Structure 1
Amino acid sequence: NGGGDVIDLRTPATVPENPRRGDVDLIKSQGGTILPDDDPASYSGNDKLFKDKNGELRAEWTVGNKDALQESDKKAMGKSLVDGDYPKNSKGESYGSLLLADYVGYMPDLQYIAAYPPEDRPEGYIREAELHKAGTALRGLSKEECPHWYSIPLYNSEGNVIGEYKVGCEGHYDTEGLTPEEAREVIMRGPTW
């Protein structure tokens, strides 16, 4: 590990003695649910967890904690958050960078996508549910059946469709008829398209 600290993300067998906790009131104000303190399943390693308003597990200590942010995210935070929360559009939908979700305490309804490259992927917002649904539809398709690229709607901050966002499949692994060791080797080499 290069001499660095190893972080244990497993569920501990017992409740940690001195877990990292967070601002419970802030978490609740963002729609989060506090998990029981006496349940080892409420921890990941030494971090106390909570369920965000979307049902995702997150570490308590990161919510509202600027020290938990990367330097690049700290710079973006000032321009994209309002009082530590994502801004809301006229429909009440939150929008902003997914990179700030641990700090805010939940993923925004509309997730910011930067233009890269501009001609292929214009700047705007996507909805995680649409991305997940489209990606799930491709899983299990053979390399020959898969279109390899698909599009989902691209939105502005008001939630109005402004175009399409192209997304690539996750690639394919041909492991049929292989032993577990051979399949592991194929997966380690990476997917094919």
Structure 2
Amino acid sequence: VGNLIATIRDAVSGAVIEAKVHVVSAGGQDISPSNSISKVGPGEPFFYCPGQFSVNVPRGSTDIVVERGTEYRPLRKVVSMPAKETLEVELLLERWVDLPSRHWYPGNTHIHYNETEGRPDERLRLDPQVHDLSVTAISILQRGQIPYASNSYPVGFMTDFSTDHRQVICGEETRHNAHHG
């Protein structure tokens, strides 16, 4: 088993950037770092990457797919993993459009977090960066059935998760649970 160490960078600035990543071994196995936050729900699996990751991968052809928001071209890179050595790769994402320079700001006004979230705070810190969103609105469905949402995520502006360039707010999709006591 070899060790794949990857760094994701903006192709122009060289800055390390967050992205979502899908790594598939030569045998077709999805591989992610043991401490990573994985996507919850159906569809292609991926993990949230803060800009660098390290995974152990068996020898052979390894497929890496990296995506970041709508302004960057997805990157697919196939590498040949050595049997027991370390392979370091740079994954350069090309930005095809700079929407903020045109006064357009990407956002998602309908992101769900549910009861299967293992590390919701960490995901919420990475989500806006990975998807390159200026505005993120969390829609909590049936708030009373999700203890972390009820206790940690009040309705309104989320100062703990917002930055100068990324605004995060929390709302609720329905104010009443489906079943009343």
Q: Name the TM tier (shorter chain).
A: under 0.3
Instruction: Looking at secondary structure, tell me which structure has more strand per residue.
Output: 2
Q: Which has the higher contact order (CA 8 A, sep 6+)?
A: 2
Instruction: Looking at secondary structure, tell me which structure has more helix per residue.
Output: 1
TM-score, normalization by structure 1: 0.21
Larger radius of gyration between Structure 1 and Structure 2:
1
